[in-house]
Chain A
Amino acid sequence: MRNNFQELERQEMEQRTVPAKIKNGVDAQVGFFQFIGSLFELYLPKMVDLFVHKMSSDSDNAPKKAQKRYPNK
């Protein structure tokens, strides 16, 4: 059985309808976060791979560059 506080809450809840714009706002934010999450999920590993590849290729090329600069050594 409800007490008077709970009955008051029930009456207030009956009188009110939750505006649709709250749900729309939440959905838009959730969608946006999921989209950003998906972008990271899709592209972050590729970006890391690219970065690692670039770093390794730079270090491979380093001695050759030095040779070109000082051909008599």
Chain B
Amino acid sequence: MLKLMFINLLNPLMTSGVKSALTDDEVISKYLETSDPKYYSILYDRYSTKVFSKCISLLKSESLAEDAAQDIFIKILMNLSKFSGKSKFSTWIYSITYNYCIDMIRRKKKDPSLLVDNIADTHDAVEDVDEKFLLEVNITRLKIILEDIPVADKSILLMKYQDSLSIKEIGEILDKSESAIKMKIKRAKLKFKKSYYLKFKD
């Protein structure tokens, strides 16, 4: 019994850093077939930097991001059998990451804008900001503005322009209709523009 325990505890450590040419879907099916931790390590190696980076970007704290990234990967592992393959595995991972971070912020009430989520869904007239404007901002300024706008707006802009997710995919992640997502993106772009002109009036 003790031998089994040690094998199980040491196996993931021994197989970390494994490189593989298998696609994500193939790695998942192999993991589900065999429960071999080396397949999970492959997925971890592929996505850990991106997930950790997103956690830091949204939570603005390295120690919170460490805890979040660990919980997210455990959540991914526990729910791997529920991954249906309808969307890309990366999209599924991002959905868990964004939702986890948004929930964490909501729990800590760091960002009250996340608590008035439904108010933002009202379809009143909002100025449409050309996305060319967002995509032409230089990286240093982009970083400053993304730190300045509320996390809810930041995360929706990251999903759209950083992860290149479709409106439908963002809707699935946030559990909102496509028209609600379009409105949220519109509002986020407007906040981005306002923040830009406040910070860089020249």
Interface size of B as a range: 35 or more
B162-183 contacts to A, CB under 8 A, are 162, 164
**CB 8 Å contact bits of B108-124 with A (1 = contact, 0 = none):** 00000000000000000
**CB 8 Å contact bits of B126-159 with A (1 = contact, 0 = none):** 0000000011111100110010000000000110
Judged by a CB distance under 8 angstroms, whether A28 is at the interface is yes
Judged by a CB distance under 8 angstroms, whether B21 is at the interface is no
> Within the assembled complex, what's the spacing in Å between the Cα atoms of A33 and B80?
14
Chain B nearest CB, measured from A3 CB (Å):
5
Is there contact, CB below 8 Å, between B13 and A27? yes
Chain B nearest CB, measured from A33 CB (Å):
8
Interface of A is mostly: helix
Is there contact, CB below 8 Å, between A4 and B136? yes
**CB 8 Å contact bits of B76-108 with A (1 = contact, 0 = none):** 011000000000000000000000000000000
Binds A, one of B22-30, B51-59, B193-201: B51-59
Known: A23-B44, A26-B70. A5 touches B9 (CB 8 A): no
